[in-house]
């Protein structure tokens, strides 16, 4: 038999059922309030407290992460500044070395030119001295052959030196 058929057969029992169910519900509420309500609310409060604590710890972790990020950014900026300083120092040192090497090279070139001039001058003096001696001897021999007599070498040497000096001017 279906419960709907019983309800049609006994309309007054429906009202009784409602009263019994309502009474049972009220008794159930009273029992829950007396024995379990504090435990249920404490579970909800503990859950709410845990959620609040989790939110607070997440906020603290976020702030800590932001602090670390800012610190890392500051350290990175410091590292960049330090790298720029090192590069600038290296460039300055390279520039100073470049100037120093160029000055040393210029000085070496000047000394080399001076030595070359001195060597040229010395070679020139030696060549002229050698030529004077050779020209003097040749001149004496030519003069002896032309004149047919023996000339004084000292007098002839002085004559040739005078002649060569006039040529050098």
The 10s digit of each residue's pLDDT in 69-110 is 999 999 888 888 889 999 999 998 989 988 888 888 888 889
Top-confidence residue, 8 or 152: 152
In this predicted structure, the answer to whether residue 6 has a pLDDT above a threshold of 50 is no
Q: Domain for residue 142, yes or no?
A: yes
Task: Say if CB 128 and CB 161 are below 8 A apart.
Answer: no
Which helix (DSSP H) or strand (DSSP E) does residue 33 occupy?
A: none
Q: Is residue 73 part of a domain?
A: yes
Is residue 5, in this structure, part of any structural domain at all?
no
Q: Where is 45: in which H helix or E strand?
A: helix 37-147
Domain-embedded: residue 4 = no
Does residue 6 lie within any of the structural domains? no
Residue 148: pLDDT band by 50, 70, 90 thresholds? low
The residue range of the domain holding 97 is: 38-168
Q: How many domains does the chain have?
A: 1
Distance CA 145, CA 122 (A): 34
């Amino acid at each position: 038999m279906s419960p709907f058929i019983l309800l049609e057969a006994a309309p007054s029992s429906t009202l009784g059922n409602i009263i019994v169910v309502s009474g049972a519900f009220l008794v159930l509420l009273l029992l829950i309030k007396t024995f379990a309500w504090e435990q249920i609310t404490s579970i909800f409060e503990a859950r709410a407290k845990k959620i609040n604590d989790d939110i607070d710890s997440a906020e603290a972790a976020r702030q800590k992460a932001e602090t670390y990020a800012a610190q890392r950014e500051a350290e990175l900026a410091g590292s960049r500044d330090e790298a720029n300083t090192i590069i600038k120092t290296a460039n300055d040192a390279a520039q100073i070395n470049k100037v120093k090497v160029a000055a040393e090279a210029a000085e070496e070139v000047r000394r080399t030119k001076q030595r070359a001039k001195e060597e040229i001058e010395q070679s020139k003096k030696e060549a002229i001295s050698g030529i004077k001696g050779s020209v003097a001897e040749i001149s004496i021999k030519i003069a002896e052959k032309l004149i047919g007599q023996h000339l004084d070498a000292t007098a002839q040497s002085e004559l040739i030196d005078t002649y060569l000096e006039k040529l050098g001017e």
